[in-house]
Each structure stands twice: as C-alpha cells, then as structure tokens.
DNA sequence: TTGAAATCAGACATAGCTGTCTGATTTACT
DNA sequence: AGTAAATCAGACAGCTATGTCTGATTTCAA
C-alpha cells in the first residue's frame, strides 16, 4: 500500500475531465453506448479510460454523482427556505431546470437501477426541496391531501419533461420556462376546485 | 405465397399469449432482459419464441402496440368529447390510469427511445386527447398561455410518473389515483394567480 | 535532464446475446 | 386415425462488448 499519493498529474486530470464530458454527451445520444464509443469521443484510448474507471458501472456512477451534486448545489444556491412557498418554488425550479437539461439522459440510464438505489441517488436533490414542500403544505399553499414525496416527484418529473420538450424543439426556449413554472405551480397547488364545488 | 391462412392452431395462440405476458413481466424486471429470459418465463423454448416473433425488436414493438391500443380504446370509451372539460379530463385520466397500471413496465422500456419515436408511439393516445385540451383552453378552463401539446405532454408525463411511483411502492395504490388526478387538474388549469395579480 | 507517470495502439480471453437451423417429438384439428 | 402444425432441446455461427495485458512512446514534474 503506497498510502495513496492522491495527486494526479496534469495530463491525467485532463483525461478524466474529457472522459466525463464525453460520457455525458455520448450516453445522452445512446444510453447503451459502449466504453469504446465514450473513449473515442473523449479523444482517448480505451485503455486510458479503463486506467481511470475500472468498470463501466464505475464510470456511470461517477457521472451520475457529479450531475446530482451539481443539481443539488444549484438548488441550494436558490435558497428554497426563504420567502413564500409558491414564490420560493418558482425561484428554485427556474434555477434548476436549465442546469438539469444537460443530464436528462441519465434518467434513462438510471431507470435500470433498483428503485432503492434510484431513490438514494435522488435524495440529495429531493432532500433539499422537501422542507420547502412540507412548509407549503402546512401553510395551505400546496396540496396537503397527498404525500410530500409525490409532490416532489411531480416537480422533478415536470422539469425533466420540459427539458426534453425544449431540447427536442417542440417547446421554444423562451416559452419553456413560463410553461414549466405554470405547470409546476398548478400541479402542487391546493385543489381550489373542490373548495368551490362544495 | 400461401395466401396467409391466418388461422393459428390453439397451442400456437396459447404460446403467443404466454410470450406476450412473460415479456411484459420480464422486461419490467430488467428492460434489457434477453429473449432467452422471456422464453424461460413463458415456459417456452427459445426457438418457439423466434417462430412467432422474428426479432427482439418485433416482440417489443408488438407488446408496446398492444398496450397503446388498449389505452387508446380505454380513453375513447371514456368519451373525452363529452361534458365540461375539467370533468372530462378527470374521467379520462382516471380511466387511462387504471389500464396503464398493468403496463407500467413499458414506461421504463420506452423511456429509452428517441423523443420522436416516443411521440409517434403516443400519438394514438395524444390524438384522442388533443381536442379535449383545446376545447378546455378555449373555454378558459385550461391554461391557454402555453401550447396544447405541452399540456398533453404534462398529462402524459404525470400518468407515467404515477405509474412508476406506484410500481416502486412509494405511492400506495389507493392513494395514487387521487394524487394523480389532483396533479393533472392543477397542472393544466388556467393560472388563477396571474389573473388575480393582474 | 532524467525518471516516473501517463498515454497509446492493439492483441487477447471471456462472456453473452442474437438469429438460424436441425431433427425428433408432441399436440391439435378433421 | 392420420396429417400437418407446432413444439422442443440443443447446436451453431456471428457479432459485440467487457475487462486485462503488453510493450513502445509521449508527457509531465522536479
């Protein structure tokens, strides 16, 4: 055991960065893309890829972890704990949705994972939003008749959907954000209809 | 050309039915399940599977087509053109959701397809709902500030999300339907906030 | 400048899946 | 009861991807 120097040389760090970028792009095109394809796009030999990521699973795990971490930081930076719930939600979703766009391919990849692992993966993101949702449910701003986790899932899923639609060109970039915000706000809001009907 | 007798023997029809059922179950467990795995679960030799479905793609296409057709029929049977838009939407989504329950597996499989192909696949379903959505937008019941297709995407995505949550055990079956209906109703509804703010 | 780290190109074994084909056997229809 | 359809078990070739290893070569860092 050489006690782990933990200091990579400059070219190694460059390779790793290229590989991670390439993995995101290539896996976005085809969730089943091979290691060779990723290496090719990264402009790196396949052997080099294996030198840094011992297995395909390890590579995907690393990519996923980075995406989740980035999303989590973006959300935290939007201060979900401040202000009126509806307004805070709009702020947070608006901040997160563009950042998440690059990574929506990972959703397809991770759909192969066990539900438990998937849940654990999303926890850093969901965890930051749960207090906001629960706060909104207590204040009457959000629907308190359903589990908080369901509302979180809905918000997450709508962000993914907007990202897909926008990147597919079916929803103009300019129109996407307001459309998303309206959908999220409505989907989470307390059911006004039942109050009026009764 | 033997002019296609089109009359399978009883055991053949039985095999086909077993295979389709097994495909749904097995692909639910692992979207990349092999033909051998499907045949095994169906209690059928792999050769028999290939006798009926010449290729893996053909099998998946057949399974998917049946699910879509069933959902489409269910929706049509719920008469989306009748009644007040909000109420019609609730009726239709509730009907579609129950049918989709059996096929939550396919949601995971098809999440890997290209957005274009996915859209084309869903067209039979979306086509039946579009008139309802547009009707609701004109009557002021639904959000007219966004494209009708966006609202359709939102509705579809929420049904899929509910299906995933339910099959993952995070959303109890009994709670799923009301939660889904509330989310869809809210997401499509005209933004009450903006009307009051303006 | 010099040695260690990192890269490359490519060979290699392993494994799995697909799709085809066989020949023997069972099952359904008339 | 007899014929054709359908089944089975299993072998087969072809392909592709993974992960390992080599030995030569380049690149960084002190």
Q: Which residues of A touch B115 (CB under 8 A)?
A: 164, 167-168, 170
B154: helix, strand or coil: helix
Residue A187 clears pLDDT 80, i.e. is over it: yes
Distance CA B111, CA B131 (A): 26
A177 confidence band (pLDDT: 50, 70, 90): very high
B111 confidence band (pLDDT: 50, 70, 90): low
Average pLDDT in chain B: 88
Rounded, the Å distance between the CA of A149 and C1' of C10 is 51
Q: Are A72 and A124 in contact (CB under 8 A)?
A: yes
Q: Which class for B55: exposed (0-12), middle (13-18), buried (19 or more C-beta within 10 A)?
A: exposed
pLDDT average, residue stretch B156-167: 88
Bridge partners, residue A131, by sequence: none
- Is A158 within 8 Å of B153 when comparing Cβ atoms? no
Residue B194 clears pLDDT 90, i.e. is over it: no
Distance CA B16, CA A76 (A): 52
pLDDT of residue A120: 86
A165 confidence band (pLDDT: 50, 70, 90): confident
Name which residue leads in pLDDT, B119 or B195. B119
Residue B195 clears pLDDT 70, i.e. is over it: no
| DSSP label of A111 | T
B97 confidence band (pLDDT: 50, 70, 90): confident
Percent of chain A whose predicted confidence (pLDDT) is above 90: 68
A98 confidence band (pLDDT: 50, 70, 90): confident
- Is B182 within 8 Å of A108 when comparing Cβ atoms? no
A4 confidence band (pLDDT: 50, 70, 90): very low
pLDDT of residue B12: 97
For B47-95, write each residue's pLDDT tens digit.
999 999 999 999 999 999 998 899 899 999 999 999 999 999 999 999 9
Distance CA A67, CA B160 (A): 23
Own/partner pairs, B20-27, CB within 8 angstroms, 24+ separation:
B20/B62, B20/B63, B20/B66, B23/B59, B23/B60, B23/B63, B24/B63, B24/B102, B24/B103, B24/B105, B24/B106, B25/B105, B27/B60, B27/B63, B27/B105, B27/B106, B27/B108, B27/B109
Token output for A149: 């986790």
For B14-28, write each residue's pLDDT tens digit.
999 999 999 999 998
Distance CA A168, CA A165 (A): 5
pLDDT of residue A79: 97
Give the one of A112, A157, A191 whose C-beta lies nearest to B157's C-beta: A157
A149 confidence band (pLDDT: 50, 70, 90): very high
pLDDT of residue B193: 52
pLDDT of residue B112: 67
pLDDT of residue A119: 81
Name which residue leads in pLDDT, A104 or B57. B57
The least confident of A139-153, B111-125, B150-164 is B111-125
> Does the CB of B108 have a partner CB in chain A at under 8 Å?
yes
Largest Cα separation within chain B, whole Å, is 71
- Is B116 within 8 Å of A168 when comparing Cβ atoms? yes
Name which residue leads in pLDDT, A40 or A4. A40
Average pLDDT in chain A: 89
pLDDT of residue A56: 97
Mutating which of B85, B141, B150, B163 best tests the A interface, going by the most A Cβ atoms within 10 A? Answer: B150
Give the one of B108, B154, B191 whose C-beta lies nearest to A158's C-beta: B154
A148 confidence band (pLDDT: 50, 70, 90): very high
For A22-49, write each residue's pLDDT tens digit.
999 999 888 889 999 999 999 999 999 9
Residue A154 clears pLDDT 60, i.e. is over it: yes
Rounded, the Å distance between the CA of B150 and C1' of C28 is 52
Distance CA A67, CA B45 (A): 43
Rounded, the Å distance between the CA of B95 and C1' of D29 is 68
Residue B179 clears pLDDT 90, i.e. is over it: yes
> Could you please report the per-residue DSSP string of A13-30?
HHHHHHHHHHHHHHHHH-
pLDDT average, residue stretch B118-143: 93
């Amino acid at each position: 055991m050489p006690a782990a120097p933990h200091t990579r040389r400059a070219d190694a760090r460059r390779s790793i960065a290229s590989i991670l970028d390439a993995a995101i792009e290539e896996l976005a095109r085809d969730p089943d893309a091979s290691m060779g394809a990723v290496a090719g796009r990264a402009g790196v030999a396949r052997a080099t890829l294996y030198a840094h990521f011992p297995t395909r699973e390890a590579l995907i795990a690393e990519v996923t972890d980075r995406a989740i971490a980035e999303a989590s930081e973006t959300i935290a930076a939007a201060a979900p704990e401040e202000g009126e719930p509806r307004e805070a939600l709009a702020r947070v979703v608006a901040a997160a949705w563009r950042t998440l766009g690059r990574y929506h391919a990972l959703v397809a990849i991770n759909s192969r994972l066990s539900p438990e692992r998937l849940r654990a993966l999303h926890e850093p993101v969901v965890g930051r939003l749960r207090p906001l949702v629960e706060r909104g449910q207590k204040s009457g701003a959000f629907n308190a008749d359903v589990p908080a986790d369901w509302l979180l899932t809905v918000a997450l899923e709508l962000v993914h959907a907007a990202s897909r639609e926008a990147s597919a060109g079916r929803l103009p970039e300019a129109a996407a954000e307001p459309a998303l915000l309206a959908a999220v706000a409505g989907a989470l809001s307390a059911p006004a209809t039942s109050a009026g009907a009764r």
